[in-house]
Chain A
């Protein structure tokens, strides 16, 4: 990205839009000149930063901190003032189990079901996601006709909204759906896949991979394309077989990108909610109930909502995410350094 490339001359439409904008910006200028005289040029930096910081402060930092307060209170009241302080009771409740191996023995058995489901989901989804996106990236990195077309093919679902994704697949997986139609051709009886605990879980994993794979493929592909071609040519001159070239050249050089992608996938898998919620609603039973849905339903949706408990659960989830994000930032930093050393 270079700043100096001249933009194409403004079209008529663009110019038309710019007229009121220019007017508004011009009107703002006079009072702001006054502000600038009062604050000085350095003070204007604070002015420019202010709106962002305000919004961050109110809608991210403040909630982040009062989340801890929420997790220490009980009752169904919404505002902190009206809530009773219960200390660590909510955490105790989450961890209250008579048998730690069996989620059903816990007071909050749905929480542990959600934790267990999420853990399984993360393991399966992350493994398969990495596998599929890596294979796709490797294939897209070959000498292909119309590579950008194929890249777009795999990227397409990334832009779809989770609701659309959920509905598309709900429609395909239902009794009169496309999947049963396809299997019918091979002589299978129609089956309601989403009413089956195991198939619903598999669908959740599969659909979330379908929806996000293109994104990670793109990052991995960028990493692959950054590997200098002459390395492969040198390897070929040395008589290296392609498989060996993959293990000894591609994989090590792709590792920084791959690690970042793994952590990114992990972070998002832990928070899985939207598309699965639309697809299965967490069912059948609690077989596709994941942590975010547990927090959402505990905090808002059920009749006996318990915001304190939801907050406590969200803090536990947040701790996992913080660790993962720190790892990601660390990885990003180190891969950046490597990049600049070249």
Chain B
């Protein structure tokens, strides 16, 4: 153990602990708890039954109270470890509770009621994962629809984003034409017009186009991202112009040059943009909330927020669905984190 610790805490070039080393490790370990803790807690909670969720203090792992069907009683009864008045211990089922007195029966001998003070009994609990939290929203609610809507929006918007932005980036990086600077400035200027500033008129335009309550109304306004054009253009500028001349001499049409020469060579930048686009579109909230008012069109994010805003929140479902909503992004995080972090560090894109 101490060898491992020595290895982990090894610091280059210096011996002994400086106060900054202590601060560093407190910060890092604290960060680990604060950054991952909530998500882990969410996942843990999502497997708890409604009864376990209502408990305070909560348990770390999901437990349920064991039940037993006892002859003469319709419903299954909760089992308790009870200390009997004579001091002996037994596993009893609770029939009802009156004040501090619990009326219990021995499952083996259902005829006889035993009265136990509630401080003398503790529930018999076993660990159990309430997977119905996950299955029920899909079977009883519209979550399959929401999931499908989210996937559709994310995939379609990402594909269109890639095509439209790479075409624009190609035009802006490999052609000389009048108005090129103007087009660049125009695209740059749109950085200054976030959704929160134009949502009212944008809503009217989308409605006028008949895209209100339509997934395309969610998709189209998002696909021309200035950031996308800029990363792709930056990358395409590194492709030598001679390559394009060579293709022209090879009788390639401009369209062929675009998709057979430039696109394949831009693959790394396209991948970065694709990852970002997936995360952005999957996470979009305000705009879908505005455009989609029919339940069957909700994306996961909208559905979740609407359900969680209801008066009688069914937390066990909400938590499970939150986990489902998190999954794609967590997968991206696990497998493509490196791509993203270098992408951000390199381009400062949001």
Contacts and interface: CB of A to CB of B under 8 A. Distances in A.
Interface of A: 1-3, 5, 7, 25, 28-29, 32-33, 36, 41-42, 44-49, 51-53, 55-56, 58-64, 66-67, 69-70, 78-80, 135-136, 139, 142-146, 148, 150-157, 159-164, 166-172, 175-178, 180-181, 184, 190, 210, 214-215, 218-219, 221-222, 242, 260, 264, 268, 271, 273-274, 277-278, 281, 291-292, 295-296, 299-300, 307, 310-311, 314-315, 317-318, 321-322, 325-326, 329, 332
B224 A52 contact: yes
B117 interface: no
A145 B10 contact: yes
Interface stretch (B33-41, B64-72, B107-115): B33-41
A296 B41 contact: no
Contact of B255 (A5, A33, A61, A299): A33
A168 B40 CA distance: 10
A70 B200 contact: yes
A225 to B, nearest CB: 8
Contact of B38 (A143, A172, A317): A172
A48 B171 CA distance: 6
Contacts, number: 323
- Per DSSP, chain B at the interface is helix
6 contacts: A42-B175, A46-B171, A51-B163, A78-B207, A168-B322, A184-B57
A67 B20 CA distance: 53
A117 B165 CA distance: 37
A56 B187 contact: yes
Bin the interface of chain B by size. Answer: 35 or more
A91 B258 CA distance: 49
B239 interface: yes
Interface of B: 7-13, 20, 23-24, 27-28, 31-32, 34-39, 41-42, 45, 53-58, 163-165, 167-168, 170-172, 175-177, 180, 183, 186-188, 190-194, 196-209, 220-221, 223-224, 229, 234-235, 238-240, 248, 253-256, 258-260, 264-269, 279, 282-283, 285-286, 290, 301, 304-305, 308-309, 315, 318-319, 322, 325-326, 329-330, 332-333, 337-338, 340-341, 344-346, 348, 350
Nearest to B186: A56
A55 B220 contact: yes
B348 A163 contact: no
Contact of B170 (A48, A139, A156, A291): A48
A139 B27 contact: yes
A317 B203 contact: no
A311 B164 contact: no
Given A59-B221, A160-B326, A181-B56, 6 more contacts: A46-B177, A49-B183, A155-B337, A162-B301, A167-B308, A190-B56
A332 B41 CA distance: 40
A169 B37 CA distance: 11
B253 A36 contact: yes
Contact of B190 (A60, A67, A176): A60
Q: Which of B7, B235, B305 has the most CB of A within 10 A?
A: B305
- Per DSSP, chain A at the interface is helix
Contacts of A67: 197-198, 200-201
A271 B194 contact: yes
B329 A161 contact: yes
Closest 7 CB pairs of A and B: A161-B283, A45-B175, A52-B168, A222-B345, A48-B171, A63-B201, A55-B224
A59 B329 contact: no
B196 A55 contact: no
Given A49-B183, A52-B229, A318 B197 contact: yes
B191 A325 contact: yes
Contacts of B192: 318, 321-322, 325-326
B223 A25 contact: no
Contacts of A152: 333, 337, 341
A58 B190 CA distance: 12
Contacts of B285: 161-163, 274, 278
A297 to B, nearest CB: 11
A49 B168 contact: yes
Nearest to B284: A161
B45 A79 contact: no
Contacts of A143: 11-13
Contacts of B165: 52
A292 B325 contact: no
B279 A300 contact: no
B198 A64 contact: yes
Q: Which of A55, A214, A296 has the most CB of B within 10 A?
A: A55
B341 to A, nearest CB: 6
B220 to A, nearest CB: 6
A222 B36 CA distance: 23
Contacts of A291: 196
Nearest to B348: A219
Contacts of B37: 178
B51 to A, nearest CB: 12
Contact of A61 (B54, B168, B190, B267): B190
Contacts of A66: 201, 204-205
Contacts of B256: 29
Contact of B301 (A155, A161, A318): A161
Contacts of A177: 58
Contacts of A325: 191-192
A325 to B, nearest CB: 4
Contacts of B350: 215, 264, 268
Given A51-B164, A161-B285, A1 B305 contact: no
Given A51-B168, A159-B279, A41 B254 contact: yes
